[in-house]
Amino acid sequence: MTTKKITFKYLIRQLHLILGLASGLIVFIVAVTGSLYVFEEEGTELFQHDFYHVEHPGNARVSFSQMADTVKAHFPKEKTTSIRFKESKDAAIIFYSKKEHAISVDPYTSKIIGVKNLDRDFFTVVQKIHTHLLLGDVGSAIIKCNVLIFLIMCISGLILWWPKQKRFFKRAVTINFKSKNWKLVNWELHSVLGFYALLVLLIISVTGIFFVYDSAKSTLAFLTGQPVPKKEKKLKSKPVKGRHYSLDEAYQYMSATNGGATETFLSPATDSVAPIRILMRYPYAIVRKQSTLYFNQYTGRVLKAELYKDYTAYDNIAKSNYDFHTGRIRALGIGSKIIYFLSGLTAASLPVTGFMIWWGKKRKKKRVPSALAYAD
């Protein structure tokens, strides 16, 4: 029995070592960018407040059509892909273009507040590094493999950390900073901090897997008794001569039938048959509440409705995935973000301390033969 246990741990240790050396740099980059992105909302509000807010709110907003005309007049080569804004009186209306620009508009005067190049925006760049390392499809494939490796690393790390006897548990959760042996301190930093951050890191890795693997979505659908999600056909607006349904009409309908939103996302029709899409997000504690309507751009007929009140068990988990991955758990407030931030920094430290453990053992192995040769 003892031999099997040692053999098993040896195999796990080798697996942990090989995967750690292979993925260490990627883990470090993803962990650092993930930690930074945790506070994207607060950072944007602090450093870009004037871009997202108007200084002197008026009584009534001008139409989206008028704002769109203003944007078109100032930026004739830009094509709007979406319009986003908070449902607050001092919120600016943000037009996003196909050329990766965000254009802020005062909704009361229709004046341009500012323009932001998203390719140079700090948090946008951080998010792109986190998801594809700025390497396009190749980077996405690397991240896809890495997130699975990271989950294996978390599980194998727990197996290696697990004390042989209960009496060793206290030592396994304590870092002796008073020790003069820096190798011991480094080892404890690796194992103990990894243990404390483990639960959050497991959540992050599992939710990350849900993002990038369709099989994860299929598995969740099976476990919740829901049909396996399929890629739906694109909705189309049947053209009607002489008729046009505006964004303003669609927004008014959505507000009247599904009001109380805190944030709105408008997507104009991208071509002659595409629908108008409006998504509204509502106050929530854990499960993200959002409803989406798709309209025929000519008649205004609702082509499809996705309402939060109709969420299935699968939807409840899927809609919560982003918040549990990024630490934006509303019920826990800023506390969840602090926990995720510290856990992310811990994840970034693990490849560093792990490499130092491996390097120290490697150097020790090299020194032993040379010492024996000298003795001979």
The tens digit of pLDDT for each residue in 51-110 reads: 999 999 988 999 999 999 999 999 999 999 999 999 999 999 999 999 999 999 999 999
Of 6-10, 39-43, 154-158, 181-185, the range with the lowest mean pLDDT is: 6-10
Indicate the DSSP class of residue 36.
H
Nearest alpha-carbon partner for 308 in 328, 275, 286, 331: 286
Q: Is 304 helix (H, G, I), strand (E, B) or coil?
A: strand
Residue 371's pLDDT band (cuts 50, 70, 90): very low
Element (H, E) at 185: helix 182-212
- Given a cut of 60, whether residue 269 has pLDDT beyond it is yes
pLDDT score recorded for residue 230: 80
Q: How confident is the model at residue 367 (pLDDT cuts 50, 70, 90)?
A: low
Q: Which residue has the higher pLDDT, 376 or 233?
A: 233
Nearest to 209 by CA among 318, 352, 341, 354: 318
* Domain annotation for the chain: domains and CATH numbers: 247-311 (3.10.450)
Nearest of 119, 188, 204 to residue 154 by alpha carbon:
204
């883990």: which residue's tokens? 27
Q: pLDDT per residue over 126-151, tens digit each?
A: 999 999 999 999 999 999 999 999 99
